[in-house]
Amino acid sequence: MSSSDEWLALYTTIKLAGLTTLILLLLGTPLAWYMSKIQSRYKVFLEAIVALPLVLPPTVLGFYLLVIFSPTSTPGKWWLDTTGYSLAFSFTGILIGSVIYSLPFVVQPLQKAFEQLGDHVLEAGAMLSANSMDRFFTLVLPMTKASFITAASLGFAHTVGEFGVVLMIGGNIPGETRVLSIALFDHVEALNYSTAHWLAACLLIGSMVLLALIYLLNFNHERNIKYRMEP
Amino acid sequence: MSTLAVSEAPQAIQRDLSVDVNLSFDSFQLSCDIRFDLNGITGILGHSGSGKTSLLRVIAGLNRDAAGTVILKQRTLQSDTQFIKPEHRKIGFVFQDARLFPHLSVAGNLEYARKRCKPNSLDANEIIQMTQIGALLKRDVVKLSAGEKQRVAIARALLAEPELLLMDEPLSNLDNRARRDMVHLLRLIHQRLNLPILYVSHNIIEIQQLADEVLVMENGRIIQVGHVHQVLNNLNERMSTEFSSPTSLTLKVKQHLVNFGLTQLDFMAPSHNQVKLFAPLMNQPLGQQLRCYILADDLSISLNKPEASSIINCLPGRISQLHRLSRNGMLIKVQVMEHTFAINTSRYAVELLRLSHGTEVFIQFQADAIRCY
């Protein structure tokens, strides 16, 4: 493999992780909000479904997605008829898989933040004539900013490290589904250890830096809260 | 005549605020049917869990589970078929815990209210000056004292220019000095802005100092309504005991006895002017009407008129009620003309003086027992 293939894999990885994070923030925020507000017993089932990717082997999720994406299944056939290409072994396919696989990493921190925020501040906003969208953007968002950054970073980092689901439903198509973790696996299989070392080190350092930034942010946020709460 | 009514008023009478709601949660049930004319500070008195806060939340629209109707100035806020959201009710709410927005400065909190109130008719500088928060504008709200937070919360609520302001025990977290200042501020707000206020508290002195009309709540129901003096001086036995109800009355400044450090006060009714009342010297103009209270512990009772006593206030009256407060304590209500005075005494004294309903007595109290503002 040439180094341009590795750059392409890096580009695919960042594109996948970036789009996954964006979609998860758009879908996960209302889902987390809903889950933070409902009192019904169905909340626990919803929480269990969202948390499922945390414990489910990626190959299991990948296998079922592969079955659903297949042109012989109704959703797969509908997609093929509508777009002209199959979801299996496509970038869109691995994007859908990544969104499902990284869902809890975005939804859970947001749900926790919304629950901690409570209704008090929102009620105060309502009594000052702020409608629900206004309250979300002017009160909830700024007051849970740190949790949004944490959720986005965790969603991004987890997608970068994804392997099993991508391998099952995406295969190894350069420029389409070949992400860094797949490229690394490829190099190890081909006994090309020097490139594998480079890729592994890049992923390791990248993940470390990202996690350190998240923890630094949380540390600063908590210290800031503690400082602000001192009499 | 009272501007409050519970159920007995015909439905046809239009009041500024009409609340007929039922709400059940856990083992609590709120059931209110009342109409207000919004022309002053209306106090809502009751012990914890009596439903005061729930009533305010229903009026504000913060409790959607309540069934019934809420009508504010002929605008239906809630009925069986409609529900106007809190943000569209034009009602302000000052919460017990201020609920300032921690990510905004004091000025940011005020601006938040100001921006969402169109058009602005109040002068923001006047509100800032009145609430004395000019020096705090750039401050971080989480670094403010409890009293400062409540001042900002009140200013913020006023800048939203509501038609009605609801206040839920806003002074409960304040020390005595901050509490006194806030009572003064709330009276000032009422005088300057002519804004009707529903003021919830379980502190009878606060209610006595602030409210013109009072309604008393117990177990989710309104059990008493009327003018502040009438209600506070005629609380039922249980409430009197619970609140250690003070005597509440309005007095008028007659003359200042500067050499003696005293001010002579008169009852409001001219027919009572033969009675002399003395309070500590105060900086009030002659003729000024003052809302006053006397704590039940500050009064004593005597069968004969003390001819030579250092206690300078002495009023003749007749015992109208005797309540047992505790194993050894008694609360005696004495009728002095149309005023009812509440006196704490011991069971021993009641036995010794053979006090009973209808006994003619004299009540005595020192000048500094009369607390005015």
Closest-CA distance, A30 to chain B, in angstroms, reads 21
Closest-CA distance, B284 to chain A, in angstroms, reads 38
Is domain B247-372 given the CATH code 3.40.50.12780 in the classification?
no
Structure tokens at B299: 């009064």
Predicted pLDDT of residue B5: 52
B91 to A127: CB separation less than 8 angstroms, yes or no: yes
> Is B199 a residue whose pLDDT tops 80?
yes
Q: Write down the domain spans for chain B.
A: 4-243, 247-372
What is the number of other CB atoms lying within 10 angstroms of the CB of residue A41? 7
Q: Which tens digit of pLDDT belongs to each residue from A146-192?
A: 899 989 999 999 998 888 888 888 888 888 888 888 888 888 988 98
Chain A residues with CB inside 8 Å of B157's CB? 127-128
The CA-atom distances, in angstroms, between A45 and each of A8, A38, A60, A194, A220 are 40, 12, 20, 46, 34
Provide the whole-model pTM. Answer: 0.83
Chain B residues with CB inside 8 Å of A139's CB? 101, 103
B140 to A130: CB separation less than 8 angstroms, yes or no: no
B101 to A120: CB separation less than 8 angstroms, yes or no: no
- Note whether A117 contacts B: Cβ–Cβ < 8 A: no
Q: Please determine whether the domains at B4-243 and B247-372 fall in the same fold group of CATH.
A: no
Report the chain B residue with the minimal C-alpha distance to residue A118. Answer: B99
* Rounded Cα distance, B245 and B255, in Å: 29
Q: Which domains does chain A have, with CATH numbers?
A: 3-229 (1.10.3720.10)
Chain B residues with CB inside 8 Å of A39's CB? none
How much is the ipTM here? 0.82
- Note whether A122 contacts B: Cβ–Cβ < 8 A: no
The answer for residues whose C-beta is within 8 angstroms of residue A40's C-beta and 6 or more apart is none
Closest-CA distance, A143 to chain B, in angstroms, reads 6
Predicted pLDDT of residue A222: 67
B103 to A142: CB separation less than 8 angstroms, yes or no: yes
Q: Which tens digit of pLDDT belongs to each residue from B17-65?
A: 899 999 988 888 999 998 878 878 999 999 888 999 999 999 999 998 8
Do B101 and A121 contact (CB within 8 A), yes or no?
Answer: yes
Residues of A numbered 135-164 whose beta carbons fall under 8 angstroms of chain B's beta carbons: which are they? 138-139, 142-143
- For residue B281, which phi and psi values (nearest 5 degrees)? -55, 130
Chain B residues with CB inside 8 Å of A117's CB? none
Report the chain B residue with the minimal C-alpha distance to residue A139. Answer: B101
CATH of region B4-243:
3.40.50.300
